[in-house]
A and B are shown apart, each in its own frame.
Chain A
Amino acid sequence: MTAMVPPRHLVLRSPAQRVALRLPLRALVILALLTAALIVLTVLSLATGSYGVAPGEVWETLRGMTVSRAIDNVVWEFRFPRTLAAALVGAMMALSGAVLQNATRNSLADPSLVGVSQGAALAVVTMTVLFPAFSGGLRPWIAFAGSILVALAVRSLSHTSQGGSAIRFILMGIGLSAFISSITSALLTYGEIDRAMTALSWLAGSINATSWTDVRTLAGWTAVLLPSLLLTSRAMSAMQFGDATALGLGAPVALTRNLQLAIAVGFAAIATSVVGPLGFVGLIAPHAARRLAPAGMGLHLLLTGALGALLVLFADLVGRAAFAPVQIPAGLITALVGVPVFVVLLIRSRPANAS
């Protein structure tokens, strides 16, 4: 954790001073800035592409006016779902990472590093290749099942008699990921070529084919998972001080940890089932949020979500615009940004964690 310099706070009190909310000013300002940046990036994302649309025209279209049929179609049918999906997926991956880091007390945790994303990928590829008839609605559930199995495996494997260590935990995840990925690749070789191609483009972590149905799936699950996460945030902040202290503070540690794991896996699995494995977002966003503004757990989670949304939106935009007409999947951009961050975090990790 970074050293907490007491920041200035905004204190909200109910008239009779029954309820008071003390919010760090800096975090609030940054959350506002992030939201503004999200809006700007959204408009940019809607305007960018092979069919040029001016930002002004985007604005008009969003307000419900029809500038032209073509623009209406491009913005509403193609770019808007894609943009929303990018933002939602980013937020979900970021939150999943934040929760995993908290639950495992491991600052290097990320759904794609510990095999959760790969578990979802294997489950979805298995379904696409072997049982193409079952698709659509069942996909998130199957992804969830695959992820939770892997999460449980990593968890039970990395707990040895000496207790878990941060690096061992990640290495275990890397080993399991390699194993799962090899099965996924074998399935891809085995499958029909066109089904394999569908699965392959999805595996690169690409957002280009998202539809309104996907957005509805993502938004629906976020609407369920985010509030449940925020409900556990008090116990989460207690758990930052270690299990013993958290128990002493009256936090239901075991229950919270299982709940957190389920939520983290849920976020990662649903996001993965829609856009494919998207690496390192869950690693970067929580750390960036902590550096930008120290805040209580609830606000920290919101900041993390906003940052994750911003990151993936940005990655998608860069991947789309940098080498147009070739589209670079957002997952590759996040990996390119994420690895250096990972290395820096590794170098800065506390010696106690490093062994």
Chain B
Amino acid sequence: MNQMSAPAIVSHKLRAWSGVPALLLALLAVFLLHIAVGAKPLPIQTVIEALTGFDSTNFDHVIIRNLRLPRAVIAIVVGASLSLAGALMQGVTRNPLADPSLLGLTSGAAFAVVVSTALFGAAGLALIPWIAMAGALGAAAIVYLIARLVPGGATPLSLTLAGAAISAFLGAVISVIHLLNQDTFENLRVWLTGGLAGRDIALLAYVGPWMALALLAGIVLAARVTLLAMGDEVAQGLGIRTGLLKAQLLAVVVVLSAGSVALAGPLGFIGLVIPHVVRLYVGSDYRWIVPYAALAGAAYLVSVDIVARIAIPPREISTGIITAMIGAPLFVHLVRRRTR
């Protein structure tokens, strides 16, 4: 970066800015497409009409408003949140393998929700975000502790391995709880495969504001993440209070991951894939990576969800299955490429 001449920096900036409208357009396009496709394909025209001038006597408009729009909105929010969280985690920990699902945050949140549902029945919707956050935070702490104790310290590889172990353990506990409470099982089974089908829009009202706030905070903090990614000492030398910044970023990541899990269940690998793809385009500056990751993540999850809905009609594949199918090979590639 610092070797770039002035015109190079300008052109870099221009290139970075030019991507934003393109991404926004792409997001809008897949958003409309997402609403249009389905068991009853609707023309884009109708979709736009339903969004701009809603007519409650038109059956198609009702389908769009009540069934398809919530799902598309949730896909956007969750996609943006998970990839932004992944980008922040990768920056803070200088760990290319960081991702809310790989480091156990999503399974911690899922575990907390399942346990509390099993213990207290259908706990109020308002409680779920908080429970999920507590679970995500707890799992993250345990994963970090284990990785710290591994000889060699909390390296990307040991963190990921600890995350996988915790996820496996929590997954087994969740399965046992399911078997013991068949009624809880019925309600949560679809949710746990990371599906966006039949999600409750009411939950979005509880989680949405927090996630929006966290997304904003993430974008605001992104500039300082770039400094942090250069190393704690460099960041401190540049006047950053690294401890405080890390705490803020942790809060943002936990809110985003937990909110996503509450909305869509544990979706894997989004936070891993998107920041890496974005980095190919905008380089290593988190001021760009973070907002790009949010936009690209939203567009990505909406597209994946379109595929999930139309790939094998009349059934639906869980969205999480497809994100894993795309993300796991990239994960293998990243592990393989790591020299340490």
Contacts and interface: CB of A to CB of B under 8 A. Distances in A.
A176 B335 contact: no
Contacts of A332: 172, 175-176, 179
B336 interface: yes
Interface in B148-169: 149-152, 155, 157-158, 160-162, 164-166, 168-169
Interface string B322-336: 101101110110011
Contacts of A204: 175
Given A175-B332, A176-B332, A339 B324 contact: no
Given A162-B339, A190-B315, A335-B169, A343 B146 contact: yes
Interface in B136-195: 146, 149-152, 155, 157-158, 160-162, 164-166, 168-169, 171-173, 175-176, 179-180, 193
A346 B150 contact: yes
A287 to B, nearest CB: 15
A190 B269 CA distance: 22
Contacts of B280: none
Contacts of A158: 336
A335 B169 CA distance: 6
B106 interface: no
Nearest to A174: B164
A189 interface: yes
Contacts of B168: 279, 335, 339
B40 interface: no
Contact size range, A: 35 or more
B317 interface: yes
B316 interface: yes
Given A157-B336, A183-B325, A328-B176, A349 B150 contact: yes
A186 interface: yes
B101 to A, nearest CB: 10
Interface stretch (A54-62, A163-171, A218-226): A163-171
Contact of B317 (A157, A170, A186): A186
Contacts, number: 126
A347 B149 contact: yes
A171 B160 contact: yes
A125 B322 CA distance: 18
Contacts of A186: 317, 321-322, 325
B324 A179 contact: yes
A33 interface: no
Given A167-B158, A171-B160, A190-B312, A351 B151 contact: yes
Interface of A: 157-158, 160, 162, 167-168, 170-172, 174-176, 178-179, 181-183, 185-186, 189-190, 204, 279, 323, 326-329, 332, 335-336, 339-340, 342-343, 346-347, 349-351, 354-355
List of 6 A-B pairs having minimum Cβ-Cβ separation, nearest first: A179-B328, A182-B324, A354-B152, A339-B169, A335-B172, A175-B332
11 contacts: A167-B158, A172-B332, A175-B331, A178-B324, A179-B324, A182-B328, A186-B322, A332-B175, A335-B169, A346-B161, A347-B149
